[in-house]
Structure 1
Amino acid sequence: MVSVRVLLVGAGGMGRAHLRNLLALRDAVIVGIVDPSSEAIAATRQLSQELQSTPGFATLESALETIEADAAVIVTPHAQHFQQGQLCLQRGLHVLMEKPFVSGSSNARALIELAQQVGRHLAVSYQRRLQGPYVYLKDLIESGELGEIRYATAYQAQSWLESQRGTWRQNRELSCGGQLNDSGSHLVDVMLWLIGSKPKAVFGHIDNRGTEVDIDSALTIRFEHDVICTLNVVGSASIGWWEDVAIHGTNGTALYRNGELWVARGLHSELRPVTVEELPATTNPDENFVDLVLGRIDTPAAAAESGYQVARLTEAAWESNAKRQWIAF
């Protein structure tokens, strides 16, 4: 295989973001676009002249019956991911799934097992694992320079309550959850990835702010090796976006502040900024996925197992909020 024939499933805003990434790759070819909205497909075709002749389909089934593809990138409402993933894997396609993977940990495990049975790659689009500051932070933790990790905290704020009001993202039937299951899913994943040990229990306090789904979430997580983590997702914020992560070890501290990284190496040492030149290059899940399908790498940045782990923790947080008690893993 010299290039990957990609079927894009979902031509909304995030679908077009994936498409821009794919169009920048010389070894990816878009062979079909699936969306029930003809207007969305038309808008997608405006991204590039080479898409003018790309066939559009109202349903995934009609696309799979008509074209030949090697892989699918699924960027649809969350409730549709599981069935669409099944259809693509059963037709022999590799699958890159937009977060938060699929609805629920049981569906996540079932889809992972199906991918293993048919021998196809299944990855999740958790892009922070490919962003320079976070890759630097992961390498720093694994190098042992910060010592034994004792405490980690993460904070994400977004005007999600107002910006997504009236959309499918605040419709529980389609979204399968709120801000914690949407943008917050990235934060949950990156903390599980950075800390690297298994969570033992979670306590969650969540407020829907009068909607069908969770908007504001405050979680405390106990990990193995006595690591404490707090995770805060604020969907009712007035600002467009902010994200913080702090890692405290026995011999150092690292602070990520909305795109900038600061590190203190050693006890009682000062925080110093990490320059752009020191950071690893940032890539994206689409490029990573194409490299995976072409055999250039053996594993994706975020395998489907990471989606399963995020789903488990999210479900435990919801259960904790409902029962007002710690939920053990």
Structure 2
Amino acid sequence: MSKQKLNFAFIGCGGNARGHGRSVSGVEDVEIIALADPSESSLEAFKENVGLDDSIPTYADHVEMLSAAKPDAVVISSPHGLHFQHIMDALDAGCHVHTEKPMVCTVDHAKQVMTKVEDTGLHLMIGYQRHLSSTYQYCRNVVQSGELGRVNFVAAHQSQNWYRNQQGKWRQDPFLGGGGQLNDSGSHLIDILLWVLEASPDTVFAMIDNLDIEVDVLTAMSIKFDTGALCNISIVGHAYGGVREAFSIWLEEGALHLREGKLLRQEQSGNPEPVDESEMPASGNKDVAFIQLIRGERTENPIGVENGLRVIQLTEAAWQSAELGRAVKVDLS
């Protein structure tokens, strides 16, 4: 049986978008029909990298593209501060939306997007791919099943050579980046913490250092959840090498430790042991999952607008705490 034909367009054609482009173009009966980016070199690099014909229409203005091409769905991979307008324009044009993280950069914008999604009935998915990772799915299942008891403490760490690598680029621009490292790669860590625990943050205390730039580079954050669980998050944007992550959950009857993609499980009476891949759920591709969602082959949105709202609610509270120099309540209204 043939699949529903879907026409895709891209808003933002930089390096990140090209990975999406290769995934999307590899799905049966999905065609990329238009590209929008103010940079001609980015448009040309996208076409070459994804293997698209030179005849594909390209636009400097995304609104013009949406009107002329009339795609079924768009992938948004533009600077963070532009996400809100790009999302709203795409939804107004009747398009399903797959936006890169963070969804938006303010709680007010997140609530407006949520209302628009509800009003239009269209799908919006966010590029927090850890929801589809076998290791994090396993951690969520263990926590939610209660098989190791309640969560007592979580420690999460992320480091990256962000400060040096992004000098002079849009990610360190206060508007275009929508914040610093905390709202960039760090938002992945906040998102997966909230998703695995499925608990509401009650109070946060954060200390932040911008070093000599306008946005945050280093963040030390402590959180208390409504379940009583405590958490420490470290976002280190002034490090060496690529992205490094560590994630540990201590529960009443054991612990889970994720180190560089390797998952260890510790029972109360034993040592940490590797979790065999056969015991984990299958991993998924976020672009494929988005297409399945549109086609009705997936009934539940794995990374919906509510996830984007929760991330920015906690992020804004952390920024507020650092500015005030004290713990603050997280506004979840």
TM-score by length of 2: 0.96
Residue pairs, 1:254-269, within 5 angstroms: 254-265=256-267, 267-269=268-270
CA–CA distance in structure 1, aligned partners of residues 59 and 105 of structure 2: 24
Corresponding residue for residue 317 of structure 1: 318
**Native 8 Å contact 2:7 2:71 kept in 1:** yes
Question: Can you list the C-alpha shifts for 1:151-170, whole angstroms capped at 9, x where unaligned?
Answer: 11100010100111110000
For 1:306, the equivalent position in structure 2 comes to 307
Give the 5 Å matches for 1:221-232. Answer: 221-232=223-234
Counterpart residue number, 2:295: 294
Task: Compare 268-277 and 241-250 and name the one that shifted more.
Answer: 268-277
Q: 2:203 aligns with which of 201, 204, 216?
A: 201
Judge which range, 271-280 or 246-255, deviates more.
271-280
Q: Distance in 1 between matches of 2:5 and 2:250?
A: 43
Instruction: Please name the residue that 1:190 is paired with.
Output: 192
Deviations along 1:209-256, whole A, 9 cap, x unmatched? 111100000100000121001111000012322101001100110000
Q: Mean alpha-carbon deviation: is it higher for 22-31 or for 75-84?
A: 22-31
Aligned length: 328
Cα distance per residue 1:162-206 (max 9 Å; x no partner): 111110000102111000000000000000001111110100000
| Cα shift readout 1:265-300 (whole Å, capped 9, x = no counterpart) | 2x2221100133433322222111111111111222
Aligned-pair identity in percent equals: 35
The CA distance in 2 between the partners of 1:48 and 1:108, in whole Å, is: 31
> More displaced, 234-243 or 179-188?
234-243
Q: Deviations over 1:6-31 (max 9, x none)?
A: 11111001111111211221132111
Q: Is the 8 A contact 2:151 2:251 kept in 1?
A: yes
Picking from 239, 249, 252, the partner of 1:250 is 252
- On the 8 A contact 1:7/1:71 being kept in 2, the answer is yes
Give, in angstroms, the shift of residue 50 of structure 1.
Answer: 4.0
> Contact between 1:206 and 1:215, CA under 8 Å: does it hold in 2?
yes
Q: What corresponds to 2:9 in structure 1?
A: 7
In the TM superposition, what is the alpha-carbon distance from 1:52 to its structure 2 partner? Answer: 3.2
Q: Report the equivalent of 2:58.
A: 56
Unaligned 5+ segments in structure 1 are none
Q: Distance in 2 between matches of 1:26 and 1:270?
A: 46
2:70–2:93 Cα contact (<8 Å) kept: no
Q: After superposition, what is the alpha-carbon deviation per residue over 1:99-135, rounded to whole angstroms, capped at 9, x for unaligned?
A: 0101201001001101111111112110011111111
Secondary structure at the counterpart of residue 227 of structure 2: helix
Q: Is the 8 A contact 1:101 1:124 kept in 2?
A: yes
Measured in 1, the distance between the counterparts of 2:280 and 2:121 equals 35
What SS does the aligned partner of 1:229 have? strand
SS of the equivalent of 2:241 reads: coil
Cα separation, 2, equivalents of 1:49 and 1:306? 33
- The DSSP-based 3-state class of the residue aligned with 1:106 is helix
Mapping of 1:144-183 within 5 angstroms? Answer: 144-183=146-185
Aligned to 1:210: 212
Q: Of the candidates 80, 83, 87, which is equivalent to residue 81 of structure 1?
A: 83
CA distance in 2, matches of 1:48, 1:232: 35
What are structure 2's unaligned runs of at least 5 residues? none
- Residue of structure 1 in register with 2:47 after alignment: 45
The whole-number CA distance in structure 2 between the counterparts of 1:67 and 1:97 is 19
Superposed CA RMSD: 1.2
SS of residue matched to 1:205: strand
Q: Is the 8 A contact 1:2 1:294 kept in 2?
A: yes
